[in-house]
A and B are shown apart, each in its own frame.
Chain A
Amino acid sequence: MTGLHPVYLISGEDDAKIDAWRARLRKRAEEEGGPGALETFDARETAPDALAAELATLTFNPGTRYLLADSVQSWKAADLEPLERAMADMSPDTVLVLIARGKVQARLQKAVQKAGGEVRAYEAPKPWEMHKWAIARAKEEGLTLDSEAAKLLVASVGGGQQRLSREIEKLALAAHPSATLSAEELQDFTPAESMRSAYDVADALVAGDGQAALAISERLLEQDEHGSKLMYAITRRLRDVHKAASLIEQGLPEQKVAASLGGPPWAAKKVIARAKGADRRALEHAICTFAELEIDLRGGGTTGLEEDTAFSLALTKAAAG
Chain B
Amino acid sequence: MTAEAPQLAGTEDHPHARLVLGSALASGSPSHAYLFHGPPGTGKRTAARALAAELLAEGEDDADAARTRALHGTHPDLTWVRPTGAHVMRVSDVEGPVVAAAGRTPFESKRRVFVLERVDTMNDEVANRLLKTLEEPPAFVHLILLTDQLGRVLETVVSRCQLVRFDPLPGERIAEMLEEEGVESGRAHAAARLSLGNASRARFLASDEGMALRGEVERLVFDALGAIHMEEPWRGLLQRAEERRDAAESAVDERKRERLEQEPRGRERSALEREFDETAKRDGRRARTEILELGLELAALAFRDLVAASSGADGAVLATDRIADLASAASDRDPVRLRQAAEACEDTRSSLQLNVTEELALSALTFRLRELVGS
Chain B interface extent, by class = 10 to 19
Asked whether A243 is an interface residue with its Cβ less than 8 Å from the other chain, the reply is yes
Asked whether A56 is an interface residue with its Cβ less than 8 Å from the other chain, the reply is no
Asked whether B364 is an interface residue with its Cβ less than 8 Å from the other chain, the reply is yes
Q: Give residues 322-365 of B contacting A (CB, 8 Å).
A: 350-351, 354-357, 359-361, 363-364
Measured CB to CB, the nearest residue on chain B to A298 is B354
10 of the cross-chain contacts (CB-CB < 8 Å) are: A284-B367, A287-B364, A288-B364, A290-B364, A291-B360, A291-B363, A294-B360, A294-B361, A295-B351, A299-B354
Asked whether B160 is an interface residue with its Cβ less than 8 Å from the other chain, the reply is no
Query: Is B231 in contact with A246, judged by CB distance below 8 angstroms?
Result: yes
Asked whether A300 is an interface residue with its Cβ less than 8 Å from the other chain, the reply is yes
Cα A218 to Cα B92 with chains together (Å):
41
Query: Is B354 in contact with A291, judged by CB distance below 8 angstroms?
Result: no
Checking A242, A290, A300 against B351 with a beta-carbon cut-off of 8 angstroms, the contacting residue is: A300
Checking A232, A288, A292, A300 against B357 with a beta-carbon cut-off of 8 angstroms, the contacting residue is: A232
Kindly list chain B residues whose C-beta atoms are within 8 Å of the C-beta of A292. 364
Query: Is A247 in contact with B231, judged by CB distance below 8 angstroms?
Result: yes
Given A239-B363, A284-B367, A300-B351, do A291 and B356 touch, yes or no (CB 8 Å)? yes
Query: Is B359 in contact with A288, judged by CB distance below 8 angstroms?
Result: no
Checking A284, A287, A298 against B355 with a beta-carbon cut-off of 8 angstroms, the contacting residue is: A298
Asked whether A11 is an interface residue with its Cβ less than 8 Å from the other chain, the reply is no
Cα A8 to Cα B360 with chains together (Å):
49
A-binding residues in B (CB < 8 A): 231-232, 350-351, 354-357, 359-361, 363-364, 367-368, 371
Q: Give residues 236-255 of A contacting B (CB, 8 Å).
A: 239, 242-243, 246-247
Kindly list chain A residues whose C-beta atoms are within 8 Å of the C-beta of B356. 291, 294-295, 298, 300
Cα A239 to Cα B367 with chains together (Å):
12
Query: Is A300 in contact with B363, judged by CB distance below 8 angstroms?
Result: no
Given A300-B350, A300-B351, do A291 and B364 touch, yes or no (CB 8 Å)? yes
Query: Is A294 in contact with B368, judged by CB distance below 8 angstroms?
Result: no
Q: Give residues 268-321 of A contacting B (CB, 8 Å).
A: 284, 287-288, 290-292, 294-295, 298-300
Interface of A is mostly: helix
Measured CB to CB, the nearest residue on chain B to A291 is B364
Cα A290 to Cα B360 with chains together (Å):
8
Given A243-B231, A288-B368, do A295 and B363 touch, yes or no (CB 8 Å)? no
Q: Of A292, A294, A299, which is in contact with the most chain B CB atoms at under 10 Å from its CB?
A: A294
Interface residues contributed by chain A, number (CB under 8 Å): 18
Taking the closest CB of chain B, its distance from the CB of A40, in whole angstroms, is 37
Residue-wise, chain A 208-246 has the 8 Å CB interface mask toward B (1 for contact) of 000000000000000000000000100100010011001
Query: Is A288 in contact with B367, judged by CB distance below 8 angstroms?
Result: yes
Cα A284 to Cα B231 with chains together (Å):
13
Kindly list chain A residues whose C-beta atoms are within 8 Å of the C-beta of B351. 295, 300
Kindly list chain B residues whose C-beta atoms are within 8 Å of the C-beta of A287. 360, 363-364, 367
Cα A247 to Cα B232 with chains together (Å):
11
Q: Of A232, A242, A288, A299, which is in contact with the most chain B CB atoms at under 10 Å from its CB?
A: A288
Kindly list chain B residues whose C-beta atoms are within 8 Å of the C-beta of A246. 231
Taking the closest CB of chain A, its distance from the CB of B104, in whole angstroms, is 29
Query: Is B361 in contact with A291, judged by CB distance below 8 angstroms?
Result: yes
Cα A47 to Cα B96 with chains together (Å):
31
Taking the closest CB of chain B, its distance from the CB of A228, in whole angstroms, is 11
Kindly list chain B residues whose C-beta atoms are within 8 Å of the C-beta of A300. 350-351, 354, 356
Kindly list chain B residues whose C-beta atoms are within 8 Å of the C-beta of A294. 356-357, 360-361
Taking the closest CB of chain B, its distance from the CB of A49, in whole angstroms, is 29
Given A232-B357, A235-B360, A290-B360, 11 further pairs, Cβ under 8 A: A235-B357, A239-B359, A243-B231, A243-B232, A287-B360, A294-B357, A295-B351, A298-B354, A298-B355, A300-B350, A300-B354
Measured CB to CB, the nearest residue on chain A to B351 is A295
Taking the closest CB of chain B, its distance from the CB of A247, in whole angstroms, is 7
Measured CB to CB, the nearest residue on chain B to A246 is B231
Measured CB to CB, the nearest residue on chain A to B362 is A291
Kindly list chain A residues whose C-beta atoms are within 8 Å of the C-beta of B371. 284
Cα A162 to Cα B42 with chains together (Å):
55
Query: Is B359 in contact with A295, judged by CB distance below 8 angstroms?
Result: no
Cα A294 to Cα B368 with chains together (Å):
16
Kindly list chain A residues whose C-beta atoms are within 8 Å of the C-beta of B232. 243
Q: Give residues 89-113 of A contacting B (CB, 8 Å).
A: none
Q: Which 5 A-B pairs have the closest CB atoms?
A: A291-B364, A284-B367, A298-B354, A288-B364, A300-B354
Cα A242 to Cα B354 with chains together (Å):
25
Checking A232, A235, A295 against B354 with a beta-carbon cut-off of 8 angstroms, the contacting residue is: A295
Kindly list chain B residues whose C-beta atoms are within 8 Å of the C-beta of A291. 356, 360-361, 363-364
Cα A298 to Cα B368 with chains together (Å):
21
Cα A313 to Cα B103 with chains together (Å):
53
Kindly list chain B residues whose C-beta atoms are within 8 Å of the C-beta of A288. 364, 367-368
Kindly list chain B residues whose C-beta atoms are within 8 Å of the C-beta of A243. 231-232
Taking the closest CB of chain B, its distance from the CB of A135, in whole angstroms, is 30
Taking the closest CB of chain B, its distance from the CB of A148, in whole angstroms, is 25
Cα A317 to Cα B360 with chains together (Å):
17
